Each structure stands twice: as C-alpha cells, then as structure tokens.
Chains A and B, each alone.
Chain A
C-alpha cells in the first residue's frame, strides 16, 4: 500500500486537501485530511475524513458520513507522531 501521508490529494472538483493521516479499516483506505488553498501554500483547518474508492481501475473518493465508521476513524487517528 502506498503511503500517501503528507501528500496533496486533488479532487475532480479542483478541491485540494493535504493528507494528515492514512488509515485502513476493513480493507478500505481512509484519509484524515485538511483542505488547503488552491495555491497549495496554506492549510485551511477544514478537516474531513475521506474514503478512497477504486472503481473500474480509477480512484474516487467519498466523504465519510457513517457515524460507526467515523467513530472508529476518530478513535484511531493518532497525531502523536507529529
């Protein structure tokens, strides 16, 4: 699995996020991200969990809304290493 931590993820609608943590839960990859500005010079403190979804060989993402999943992700997002 590729470690995408600290990378920028660019979405199809041009939104950009920086990946703070990468998590794997039930074989799915999730990212704890914060939005960054278009110039990629500033972190906007707009946090989210997004899930990476592979479909027809392409990568998509969806914002995590399931409380059960969110609970697990929140519990296991450890920022102590920074």
Chain B
C-alpha cells in the first residue's frame, strides 16, 4: 500500500504518517507499506486515539472531586499518622510499664487514690480513738456506779446503825433529832447517789450507742480503705489493661483507616494519570489497559458512589435541570423587571427632579405624537377635500353621461332602433348608474372621514392643551398615569422579598450548575465506549499484536484472556485460580448467588434511630456470642447442622476439628449463627441431651443427623432449615458414635442443658445471652482460649472482655500478675511494690510540691506514698488495735474528767456525812 493511500484511509496527512513511521523506525519497501508496517501504524494510530480519549476522560474528572479527594487523603494520612504514633507510644509503654511513664493524668489518678486512701486511714485513726475513748468512759462509768452503790450501802449501814442506836440506847431527844437529821442527810445523799448512778447509766447507754456507731463506721471505713488499697495495688495492672485495650482499639482504628483509607485514598485523578502514562510508555498492553480502566471505573464509581449515584442515572435529571434552569431564568427576569419597575416608581415618587424630567419627557413625547396626529388628520382632511372635488366632478360627469344615454335610448326607441342597440344603451346606463352610486358612496365615506379627522383634531387639540396645562393632575390624566398610593417602605419590603426570591433562585441555579457538572462526570459512557472499543479491537482477528516487546508471561496472559474471556471483571486473581481448579460450572454459582440477593426497596429515615442506644446491650451480647462462634469455627470447629422440629435449625459445633466426639466439646448453637438469628451456646455431654433438647418428639434417625463434612459450610444452615438432608449414619461412619449406641449419659461429664437453654424453645426468647454465667459457659471460655491460642489475638481480648462483662472474678489479680510488674519493680512481700533501690536504701523521702517535682521525684513520691500507705489487712487490724489501746480522744478525756470530778464530789459528800455522823 502506498503511503498516500494509507494517509487517505486514515484521514491524516502524509507527513503525519511519515513522522509516525520515523518515530517507530518503520521503513517503506518497493510497494510502499508492507502489511506489518500497516499493522504497526494501525496500532500506533489506535494508541494515539486511545490516548486522546484517555486525556479527554481525564479532563472530565471535576476539580471539585479532585480537591475533595486531596482533602480526604490529607485527613486520612493525618489520622493514620496519629494512630500509628499512638500505637507506637502505647506499645512502648506496655513494653516497659513503669511509673515514670505515667502521664500527668495517670499520675494524678494514682496520687488521688493514694491520698484518698490516706484520708480513709486517718478517719480510721479517729474512729479507733473514739471507740477506745468510749470503751474507757464506759468502764470508768461502770466503776463509778459500783462505787456509788458501795457508798449507798455504807450510808444505809450508817442509817441502820443509827436506827439501832436510836432503838437500843437511851438517847436524849436532842440526840435523836440529830441522828434523825443525819439519817435524813444520808438518805438524801443516797437519793443523790442513786440519781448519779442513773445519770451515769444513761451516759453509759449513750456511750454504748456511740460505740456501736463508731464500730460500724470503723468497719465501713476499713472496708473502704481495703478496697482503696486493692485499687492502689491493682493500679499498674488496671493501667496496663487500659493501655492494652486502648492499643487494641487504636489498632482497630488503624485497620479501619487502612480498609476505608484504601477506598478513600483511591485518587481517580492520579490513577487515571498513571494509567495514561503507563499506556503511553508502553508498559500497559491494550488488554491490560482495558483491565485497568475497568478497575478504575469500578473504583471510581465506588469512591464517588454517593455523590454520583443520582448523577449516574441522570440524563433525565440533566434535562430536568435544564428545564428548571430555564424556568428559573425566566422567573428571575420577571422578578428583576418587577423590581426595576418598583425601583423606577420609587424614584418617580421620591425624586421630584426625576418626576419633572419624566413628565416633561412624557409630555413632550405625547405632544409630539398628538401634533403629528393632528397634522395627519389635517392632511387627511385636505386630501379628503381634494378627493371630494374630484368625486363631485366625476359624479357631475356621470350625471351628464347618464342624461346623454337616456336621450339616446329615448331616441333609439323613437326611431325603433334595433333591440340590440337599445339593450346596449340600457346596459351602459346601468353601468353609469353603478358608477354614480359608487361615487356617491365614496363621497359619504369622505364626508365621514373628514368628520372623524376633524373630531380627532379637536380631541388631540384638547389633549394638547391639557398637556400644556400647569396642573400636574391634568397632565397625569392626559398621560393616563394613575396615582401610586403604596408607601415607599412597603414597596421596599416587596422589593426585598422579590430580591430574596431571586437570590434563592440564583443559588438553586448554582446548585444546579454544580449538579450538572457532577452529572456530566458520567464519563461512564466514554469510558465504556473506550473499553468496548479496546475489547472489539482485541476480538478483531485482523488486529496484529502490539509492536511492543512482550514478556513471555504477558503472552501467556493474553492467551488466557483470549481463551477464557473475562466474564466478571470483579473477580480477583485468587478466584481466577480457583476457577481453574473447581470443576463446578461458575454460571450455576453465579445463579445461586443471585438467588440470595434480595432487592433493596428503599433506605429511608427512621424514627427508631434514637432507640438504637436502648438495644446496644443486646447488640453487644449478640456480637460477643457470634464472635465466639466464629472464632471457634475459624479455629477448626465443625458445624454440624441438625433439624430441630420445634424451633428450626440447631447447629452443633465441635471445636476439636475432624473428630466430632460426642462429649463436652460439642457445643449446641441455637439457631444458626449464619442465618443471623439469636444464638446461644451450650455444651452438651450426651447426644440424648441434644436429641431431647432439639426435638422432644423426634427419633434418633431423623432429629439429628449431622453430616460427615469436616468443612465449615456457612450455607448449610440455610439449606437445612426444614430440609433434613443429613444422614444419621454419618457419626457412626466416622467411628465415633451412632444413634443406637453409647448414649449412656452417666459416662459423660455432668453437663446438661440448663433451663435457660430449654427456654430457647420459645421463639420470642431473645434474651438468653443475658443469662448468668454457667459452668458450661466457663467451659466455653476455656475452649475459646484454645481458639485464641490458635492465633486469634482478638479472641484473647474478647475472652477477657467477656469475662469482665459477665461480672466474673477478675482473672488478672494483683498477686497473680506480679510477674507482669515492671522488671525494676519487685514485690516487697506485703503486696506493695518497691524498687530494688528502695529495698537497699530504705530512706524516707520528703514529698515535695507536685508542680515542682521532676519525673524522678514524682516516681519517688508515688512509691513513697505507696510504701507509707501500703499495709496488709493484718497491719490495718494491728494499727486499729494499737490505736484503740493507746489513744484517748480529747472528748472522751473531758468526759472522764467530768466523771472524776463527780466522783470526788460524791466521795467528799459521803465522807462529810460519815464524818458528821461519826462525830455525833
């Protein structure tokens, strides 16, 4: 083929062809272009075409999206960096968990705990003093009471003695009176003493009550102190757990960022640029270009699905936008006109100069028009008169002719002329009469017109005179302008409202513009076209391979593509490989997959959004339970599905892998975790339990018949519901058990389904997950540990969390976790931590003000606090006892003083009485 022919065929200049040949290093032969050269040129032209179209595609990506993408990328990178930094910090902190690594907040927390603990200890001191004081007072009071009673007895003796003396000896009346007076005094003293005793008894009661209160308070404070102490001891572990939890959370965030970031970081602008550059430089073949474009398209659509969802189906929307825009434009024009008029009127009403100018202009225009009209009318009248003269002359001529014709007719009749002549004359007369009538009619018209014009002149002359008037109303009347009565304010409001409407419409316009711009991003058409073209080119047998040096693997790939054209562009390489291995027809799989698809009718706003918080607990329980199931499944558990006649499918899960032993390792999962229903796990130790549990009425041959599959088949539950396809011999086939044998429950560990499990027969019972922990569950947790050991860190976390959430005893106890204590902190034996340095050099340090402390000082301070505050329960008891024994509070000392004083008064009084009695 000649170059010229080729150039003509390709609709390019010969120069272009030559340049391209030079660039590709192609030459001509004697015939011009060889087939290979043409093929290469074709390929190059096609490449150029693709490149041009790719460039065009690139220009379709709106700047708005590019900018947004950049912002997102920046934000994600920032989030990612901060997340990674946090993870590094936490990991470092957890590696060497030391006090000096505590941050301000954590230091403060620990310090607060210690201070609260110390306060509680001081309170304990005070309470102990109170108790001891009370006890002291009570015993003193009791002693006093005893003494009082002794005194009373002594006084009674004195009285008795005096009485005997009175009776037995001859005593003078005077002496009798004295003795009686003394007896009376003694009795009075006794009464006083009794009063004192009852007062002391009251005081003792009060003190006892106070003692009880103080003891109770003491116990309470002691418990509180104990708890605080435990909290202080556990602080490092708690902090560690918190950090570990935070670390896990940060890792989750990072992974989420990575996952979502992958999607968000997809930058269509950069990606398309890269594709173009790669293709331009020959790194991408056409088939690869197609794949890249398909990938690009999918990612692009996914990335901007939300923004573009509407726009991608919006050819209709585009036309709507267009219509709306036109309507808006019209509306804006109308509104603007309205506003202009209003503004003009406003000006007219408010600006007298304008009014004058406006009026002058209107008046002069009107006058000019009126004068022109008057002139026209006058001219018409003149013409009319001229016509009239002519018409009159014509009429006179016609009359004259009529008379002439009449004479000729009369003469012809008289001469008995031929009838033809007479008729001709008659016809002529008739014509003349018609002419005369026409002229007369015309004359009437002329007269009317003249009158009309004269009237017009009169009217216009009047109007003119009005316009020339000095009275504005007359002038306005003449101009046909009605007076405007609305106030300027009202008008301004009206204008503002209309202006608002215009602004709103304009913003709608700009939104529509943006929407249209986005909608125009539907370069799917162009993209699809390009992809199709590439595909067509590839399928076109005439196409000669790209003149790019190909690698062997590339060739292989090409061949593969030709042999098995890509059906589903979303299938990844792994699946491709799988397809090679699996004999099952992929189309059926696809159909099966399609069967599972349920159309989404709508996403709509829900009033229940606020209620989500209320079901959070249940949702968390559901998630937790499902995590366990999935962890067990992934750790190699077998999912055996059994038909349960009364409540649907039931699955048994054996975490032990291939050996589905019917022992406590079998877990019954109520409903299937895969159909998303409520799920509750229960270990069972006997197949009878399973049978009974699953289906009270079912027999062994049909109620449960787990399949022998050792593979987890997530779809099994779906197919098994109401469709018992499993074989009851499968267990025995595996040499473990058959329905007929080895069903002795006594041989199995004593784990049976609990009542809660049975409650699951109630379809409405969705709250089983909230049940109290059972031994079975504990067993389950133990197995989870196995699953976790199999490599699921997450499962470890969850195990801990589950245990925590279930309210079980903390598995991490301070005493158990001392191995986790930082290497330079060792147990001091009493549950406290101290550094080796402290042990060697146990010198008390004076705490300094927190704000002035260096990190090391802080550490020392905290450790000192710990050592000072730290003591065992025994130590606490000892302290209380010591304090009870040795300390007397000031209040109680006062009470004792009072009692002592009272005591001495009584003694004095008694002694006085005795003395005086004895004297007598």
Q: Which residues of A contact B (CB under 8 A)?
A: 1-2, 4, 6-13, 18-20, 24-27, 32, 34, 36, 40-49, 52-55, 57-63, 65-68, 70-71, 74-79, 82
B263–A74 touching, CB < 8 Å: no
Taking A8-B602, A27-B299, A43-B611 as given, write out 7 further A-B residue pairs in contact, using a Cβ cutoff of 8 Å, ordered by the A residue number: A24-B260, A41-B607, A60-B599, A65-B718, A66-B714, A67-B633, A71-B631
Does B746 interact with chain A (Cβ within 8 Å)? no
Q: B107 CB to closest chain A CB, in angstroms? A: 26
> What are 10 of the A-B contact pairs (CB < 8 Å)?
A7-B605, A9-B603, A10-B601, A18-B608, A27-B262, A42-B608, A43-B608, A47-B619, A61-B598, A78-B252
A7-B606, A71-B631 known; A55 vs B597 contact (CB < 8 Å): yes
- C-alpha gap A46/B679 in the complex (Å): 10
- C-alpha gap A58/B313 in the complex (Å): 11
- C-alpha gap A2/B597 in the complex (Å): 21
Interface string of B251-268 (1 = CB under 8 A from A): 010011001101100000
B599–A59 touching, CB < 8 Å: yes
B606–A6 touching, CB < 8 Å: yes
**Chain A binder among B363-371, B621-629, B874-882:** B621-629
* In-complex Cβ contact of A46 among B608, B614, B630, B678 (8 A): B678
Given the complex, which residues of A lie within 8 Å of B597, measured CB to CB? Answer: 53, 55, 60-62
Q: A42 CB to closest chain B CB, in angstroms? A: 8
Does B615 interact with chain A (Cβ within 8 Å)? yes
- C-alpha gap A48/B623 in the complex (Å): 10
Does B188 interact with chain A (Cβ within 8 Å)? no
In the A-B complex, the 6 residue pairs with the closest CB atoms: A6-B609, A48-B676, A12-B599, A65-B714, A60-B597, A8-B606
B608–A40 touching, CB < 8 Å: yes
Interface centre among B306, B607, B612, B677 (most CB of A within 10 A): B612
* In-complex Cβ contact of B604 among A2, A10, A77 (8 A): A10
- C-alpha gap A60/B398 in the complex (Å): 99
A24–B676 touching, CB < 8 Å: no
A8-B605, A63-B676, A65-B714 known; A20 vs B596 contact (CB < 8 Å): no
Q: Number of residue pairs across A and B with beta carbons under 8 Å?
A: 155
- C-alpha gap A24/B607 in the complex (Å): 24
A18-B608, A40-B606, A71-B634 known; A34 vs B306 contact (CB < 8 Å): no
A67-B714, A76-B255, A78-B252 known; A45 vs B615 contact (CB < 8 Å): yes
Given the complex, which residues of B lie within 8 Å of A55, measured CB to CB? Answer: 597
Does B811 interact with chain A (Cβ within 8 Å)? no
- C-alpha gap A58/B599 in the complex (Å): 8
Majority secondary structure of chain A interface residues (helix, strand, loop or mixed): strand
B623–A77 touching, CB < 8 Å: yes
A43–B259 touching, CB < 8 Å: no
B619–A75 touching, CB < 8 Å: no
Does B904 interact with chain A (Cβ within 8 Å)? no
B600–A18 touching, CB < 8 Å: no
- C-alpha gap A13/B675 in the complex (Å): 16
Given the complex, which residues of A lie within 8 Å of B614, measured CB to CB? Answer: 43
B631–A12 touching, CB < 8 Å: no
A60-B599, A79-B616 known; A1 vs B608 contact (CB < 8 Å): no
Does B620 interact with chain A (Cβ within 8 Å)? yes
B606–A67 touching, CB < 8 Å: no
Interface string of B669-694 (1 = CB under 8 A from A): 00001111110000000000000000
Does B305 interact with chain A (Cβ within 8 Å)? yes
* In-complex Cβ contact of B766 among A25, A27, A45, A82 (8 A): A45
* In-complex Cβ contact of A9 among B263, B302, B600 (8 A): B600
Given the complex, which residues of B lie within 8 Å of A24, measured CB to CB? Answer: 259-260, 263
Does B583 interact with chain A (Cβ within 8 Å)? no
Does B715 interact with chain A (Cβ within 8 Å)? yes
Does B758 interact with chain A (Cβ within 8 Å)? no
* In-complex Cβ contact of B600 among A36, A40, A44, A52 (8 A): A52
| Complex interface residues of chain B between 256 and 299 (CB less than 8 A to chain A) | 256, 259-260, 262-263, 299
Cβ-closest chain A residue relative to B572 = A26
Interface centre among B600, B607, B627, B718 (most CB of A within 10 A): B600
Cβ-closest chain A residue relative to B262 = A27
Does B6 interact with chain A (Cβ within 8 Å)? no
Q: A59 CB to closest chain B CB, in angstroms? A: 4
Cβ-closest chain A residue relative to B607 = A40
Interface centre among B299, B306, B611, B633 (most CB of A within 10 A): B611
B676–A57 touching, CB < 8 Å: no
A76–B256 touching, CB < 8 Å: yes
Does B647 interact with chain A (Cβ within 8 Å)? no
Given the complex, which residues of B lie within 8 Å of A10, measured CB to CB? Answer: 600-604
- C-alpha gap A68/B634 in the complex (Å): 8
- C-alpha gap A16/B486 in the complex (Å): 58
Cβ-closest chain A residue relative to B620 = A79
B676–A11 touching, CB < 8 Å: no
- C-alpha gap A61/B312 in the complex (Å): 20
* In-complex Cβ contact of B598 among A4, A12, A32 (8 A): A12
Q: A19 CB to closest chain B CB, in angstroms? A: 8
* In-complex Cβ contact of B619 among A11, A20, A40 (8 A): A20
Does B853 interact with chain A (Cβ within 8 Å)? no
Given the complex, which residues of B lie within 8 Å of A65, measured CB to CB? Answer: 674-675, 714-715, 718
B766–A46 touching, CB < 8 Å: yes
Does B613 interact with chain A (Cβ within 8 Å)? yes
- C-alpha gap A76/B250 in the complex (Å): 11
Does B119 interact with chain A (Cβ within 8 Å)? no
A70–B263 touching, CB < 8 Å: no
Q: B466 CB to closest chain A CB, in angstroms? A: 71
Cβ-closest chain A residue relative to B769 = A45
A45-B618, A63-B675, A74-B627 known; A82 vs B612 contact (CB < 8 Å): yes
Q: B300 CB to closest chain A CB, in angstroms? A: 12
A71–B630 touching, CB < 8 Å: yes
Does B712 interact with chain A (Cβ within 8 Å)? yes
- C-alpha gap A45/B608 in the complex (Å): 13
Does B794 interact with chain A (Cβ within 8 Å)? yes
B252–A12 touching, CB < 8 Å: no
Does B309 interact with chain A (Cβ within 8 Å)? yes
Given the complex, which residues of A lie within 8 Å of B623, measured CB to CB? Answer: 47, 74, 77, 79
Given the complex, which residues of A lie within 8 Å of B259, measured CB to CB? Answer: 24-26
| Complex interface residues of chain B between 230 and 256 (CB less than 8 A to chain A) | 252, 255-256
Q: B718 CB to closest chain A CB, in angstroms? A: 7
Q: A77 CB to closest chain B CB, in angstroms? A: 6
- C-alpha gap A34/B614 in the complex (Å): 12
A46–B600 touching, CB < 8 Å: no
Interface centre among B313, B623, B718 (most CB of A within 10 A): B623
* In-complex Cβ contact of B306 among A2, A47, A52, A70 (8 A): A2
Given the complex, which residues of A lie within 8 Å of B678, measured CB to CB? Answer: 45-46
| Complex interface residues of chain B between 570 and 598 (CB less than 8 A to chain A) | 593, 596-598
Cβ-closest chain A residue relative to B299 = A27
- C-alpha gap A58/B597 in the complex (Å): 11
- C-alpha gap A14/B130 in the complex (Å): 73
- C-alpha gap A41/B608 in the complex (Å): 7
